[in-house]
């Protein structure tokens, strides 16, 4: 009896040892019971753990501090710019002009010469009883010498008056157009007056160089005014003519107007009207001759150089 009990105990211990060495596989969370649709519980021990890297708090703090510094630097820069803008707003008056050079002095002499010549013609207009023909030299001197020459000088870079006023290019061009428009109107009226006067006295027209040069200058005003108006009001003509070519035509035609109009004014001191009203005074003659020659030479030199540069660029247009 005792022998059987010992044998049973030995068999049970052997089974326990076998089961401990070969355990049955455990089910995962995706396995289902064959007799039931219930999902078996999740076995945590059989799953591999996912290790997340710990957040480096020091690096994050460094990034936050750099972002804060950058933000403060931007705010400081914006505050400085805002302060500079406020200082500019509080400043009054135009910027001081650059120191004048030799060309500015020569342009100033041209301004003075214009005033002297126009003043001389006005003096001669009223030196004798005023006649219908007297309107011709009066309007021509004011229109051609004063308005036209000053209109050309106004857009010149060597004009000290324009630089002191510190005007923009668009405003200069607008004043230039206004001055030359008034000049063309006065010159046209003066031309009509001399034609009527010669018809009344039965005299022939365009027999002197003074009259011929004046006629050429007057005809040159037509294209100069047309393309000058186109350039001023920005009329869309790019399909027909390029802007560079239009500018070159304007400068060339304007130069013709100034040159031939200036030559006509120079020759005006040789006319019978000038001799009669000045009583053949050689000093008044020299004053009118020198001032008119200087004005023409100084005013024409810059547009002529610009015209030549434009013509050299025609190959690339």
Mean pLDDT per 10-residue segment, the chain (317 residues) = 51 52 48 46 47 51 65 68 49 51 89 96 94 95 94 85 79 88 94 94 91 94 84 64 76 88 95 95 96 94 70 53
| CATH fold for domain 102-315 | 1.20.120
- Report how far apart, in Å, the C-alpha atoms of 68 and of each of 61, 72, 79, 222, 267 are: 11, 6, 17, 68, 79
- pLDDT, residue 39, reads 46
- Tokens 């041209």 locate to 110
What does the DSSP assignment read for 184-209?
A: HHHHHHHHHHHHHHHHHHTPPSS-SH
What pLDDT does residue 255 have? 86
Residue with tokens 């326990």: 16
pLDDT of 97: 47
Q: Residue 112 phi/psi, 5° resolution? A: -65, -40
- The CB density around residue 14, as the number of other CB atoms within 10 Å, is 10
Domains of the chain: which residue ranges?
Answer: 102-315
Provide the pLDDT for residue 313.
60
């Amino acid at each position: 009896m005792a022998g059987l009990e010992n044998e049973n105990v030995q068999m049970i211990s052997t089974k326990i040892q076998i089961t401990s060495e070969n355990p049955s596989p455990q089910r995962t969370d995706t396995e289902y019971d064959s007799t039931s649709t219930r999902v078996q519980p999740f076995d945590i021990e059989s799953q591999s753990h996912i290790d997340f890297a710990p957040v480096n708090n020091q690096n994050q703090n460094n990034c936050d501090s750099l972002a804060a510094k950058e933000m403060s630097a931007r705010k400081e820069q914006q505050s400085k710019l805002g302060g500079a803008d406020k200082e500019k707003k509080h400043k009054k008056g135009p910027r001081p002009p650059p120191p004048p050079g030799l060309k500015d002095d020569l342009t100033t002499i041209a301004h003075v010469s214009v005033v002297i010549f126009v003043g001389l013609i006005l003096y001669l207009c009223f030196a004798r009883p005023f006649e219908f023909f007297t309107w011709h030299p009066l309007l021509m001197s004011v229109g051609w010498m004063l308005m036209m020459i000053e209109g050309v000088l106004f857009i010149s870079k060597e004009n000290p008056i324009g630089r002191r006023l510190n005007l923009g290019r668009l405003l200069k061009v607008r004043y230039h157009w206004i001055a030359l428009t008034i000049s063309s109107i006065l010159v046209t009226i003066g031309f009509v007056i001399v034609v009527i006067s010669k018809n009344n006295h039965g005299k022939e027209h365009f027999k002197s160089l003074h009259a011929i040069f004046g006629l050429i200058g007057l005809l040159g005003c037509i294209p100069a005014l047309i393309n000058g108006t186109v350039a001023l009001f920005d009329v869309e003509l790019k399909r027909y003519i390029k802007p560079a070519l239009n500018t070159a035509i304007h400068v060339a035609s304007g130069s013709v107007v100034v040159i031939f109009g200036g030559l006509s004014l120079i020759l005006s001191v040789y006319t019978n009207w000038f001799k009669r009203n000045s009583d053949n005074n050689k000093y008044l003659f020299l004053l009118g001759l020198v001032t008119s020659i200087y004005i023409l030479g100084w005013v024409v030199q810059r547009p002529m150089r610009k015209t030549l540069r434009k013509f050299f660029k025609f190959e690339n247009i």
